[in-house]
Chains A and B, each alone.
Chain A
């Protein structure tokens, strides 16, 4: 296992700059998730680390060694691909053993390691099958088996769950987390799914347009997002953003009935973010802002209410499921001042928030 260090890494395809000046250290044994919307450069960044793309600028160090100009096969990493990329002409056993045989490992050792990987991933009964004879979840496990059998310096995952159906995805997510606890291996995991990012990561790196926007633990990022992009990217339903202004008596939301006191109530404040689960539906005149119910979706565990203010802003509220609301009903929305996230006009978080 090893630490992975990126220094000023950039990649351009022609004039198109896909990865811009990324510097990052993934500690030995850390589970690091690159997350961002499609086209943010997260997969390219992973492929740069893998050696499948060559960097335009910057350095990549694995375990302190500069591998920037090395071919993939000299970097000693394993990768699980989105399509799994299993060799269709080989049995499961040969798929898992391919890398070991490439390294000319003695056949007895190959057999031992394949058996071990098969045990961990519950593939024992499937070793003689071809990939085409496996279900999606089984293929996924073979792909992971192919990665762990080599005992690489780090694991790379490129959206490994996106080809699975929802139920299987949740199960496999739990398995990957368990696997990481067992192996303690340095892992870099790329996904566009914020749930995967939140549940798996020791550390999340949020990327946007090729740049690192923010990095930290899932809790850090969720509770103290550095800007509105991160704030809205993590969490579902996404964070409400309401225009607001600092006044003499505190913070007032656009169209708000009353102001509330906050330490960050000062000049540059332009909008306030608040997560739906921290909002409450109250009487029309009892909240921080009033509006009309535009939709209410029953989700079983909660009621997802959309309230439109007089100014046209929409707020999502996760309310108790037993609440009953009519469409068009006038309501108030309230939340604790501590739950509010202050943002400046350019979207960055205000100090003290």
Chain B
């Protein structure tokens, strides 16, 4: 057992090393960062966070966080809305089983760059370039396969007798879906939302290509902050930016870590 604990400790340290090191650096004073690269902080300070959280011309973190939040919410919720009725029709009536289901599920396997460029063209024409809505819509596509998979599984797990009971109780389709099927799929909705929100928040490529100023998400904003730092990167501040940017999905993911396990499984079962 002791050896197992040691292996766990080593794995935890190794896998999380960049995160730990970044978090440590974020608490170092600017002078200390270059002088002391170790994981030990001589004079812990919140100065970096204070600087990051004080919006400036160079980096308005709230603007980026807001963009990420709105786009990630659209990207996490919209797939659930469009996938739910279809998932039911698919399970109970076989709608779209032959073509739609494989097409949607296999979207997951395609390199996102394939969509990014034609989307750029379309967004340019539709006025969606550099908007939160535009970014959210494409993030919804990214999350669609998992939403469909999870909801199809969830509906399939509902005993048919339960729906028959509801029909005998006089429920027509809308009431059946909203009052019986929807509440029973709640765990799947939560799982898909958690994973979808994290995926959407963490997305980088679409933010890079489809936004320029107004709707830049925090992943892209943070990388700009690195790139544009004249006269060398201010490492302490850069680390603080990353901590702030990584915090929302981390908190959500750690509180709901069991959901992550569930979504990874669901995604893998259907390959």
Answer whether A and B touch in the complex at a CB cut-off of 8 Å: yes
Chain A interface (Cβ < 8 Å from any Cβ of B): 50-52, 71-73, 77-79, 81-83, 85-89, 98-99, 102-103, 146, 150, 156
Query: Which residue in A78, A89, A146 is a CB contact (below 8 Å) of B183?
Result: A89
Query: Which residue in A82, A102, A150 is a CB contact (below 8 Å) of B171?
Result: A102
Query: Which residue in B162, B167, B183 is a CB contact (below 8 Å) of A52?
Result: B167
Contact (A81, B170) CB under 8 Å given A88-B184, A102-B175: no
Instruction: Classify the interface of chain A: helix, strand, loop or mixed.
Output: loop
Find chain A residues with CB under 8 A from B159 CB. Answer: 83, 85
Instruction: Classify the interface of chain B: helix, strand, loop or mixed.
Output: helix
In the complex the two chains form, is A87's CB within 8 Å of B168's CB?
no
Contact (A77, B168) CB under 8 Å given A83-B159, A89-B183: yes
A73-B169, A89-B183 known; 8 new pairs, CB 8 Å cut-off, are A51-B167, A72-B164, A73-B168, A77-B168, A85-B164, A98-B169, A102-B170, A156-B168
Q: Which residue of B lies closest to A52 (CB)?
A: B164
Q: 7 closest A-B pairs (Cβ-Cβ)?
A: A99-B169, A85-B165, A85-B161, A72-B167, A89-B183, A73-B170, A102-B170
Nearest CB of chain A from residue B41's CB, rounded to whole Å: 49
Find chain A residues with CB under 8 A from B170 CB. Answer: 73, 99, 102-103, 150
How does the 8 Å CB contact mask read for B138-171 relative to A, with 1 for contact and 0 for none? 0000000000000000000001011011111111
In the complex the two chains form, is A73's CB within 8 Å of B171's CB?
yes
Nearest CB of chain A from residue B189's CB, rounded to whole Å: 13
In the complex the two chains form, is A79's CB within 8 Å of B180's CB?
no
In the complex the two chains form, is A83's CB within 8 Å of B161's CB?
yes
Q: Which residue of B lies closest to A72 (CB)?
A: B167
Chain B interface (Cβ < 8 Å from any Cβ of A): 159, 161-162, 164-172, 175, 179-180, 183-184, 186
In the complex the two chains form, is B165's CB within 8 Å of A81's CB?
yes
Q: Which residue of B lies closest to A82 (CB)?
A: B161
A78 and B167 alpha carbons, distance in the complex (Å):
10
Nearest CB of chain B from residue A48's CB, rounded to whole Å: 13
Find chain B residues with CB under 8 A from A77 CB. Answer: 168
Nearest CB of chain B from residue A109's CB, rounded to whole Å: 15
In the complex the two chains form, is A146's CB within 8 Å of B161's CB?
no
In the complex the two chains form, is A71's CB within 8 Å of B168's CB?
no
In the complex the two chains form, is A87's CB within 8 Å of B180's CB?
yes
Find chain A residues with CB under 8 A from B172 CB. Answer: 71, 73
Sample of 7 A–B contacts (CB below 8 Å): A50-B164, A51-B167, A73-B167, A82-B161, A83-B161, A89-B184, A103-B170
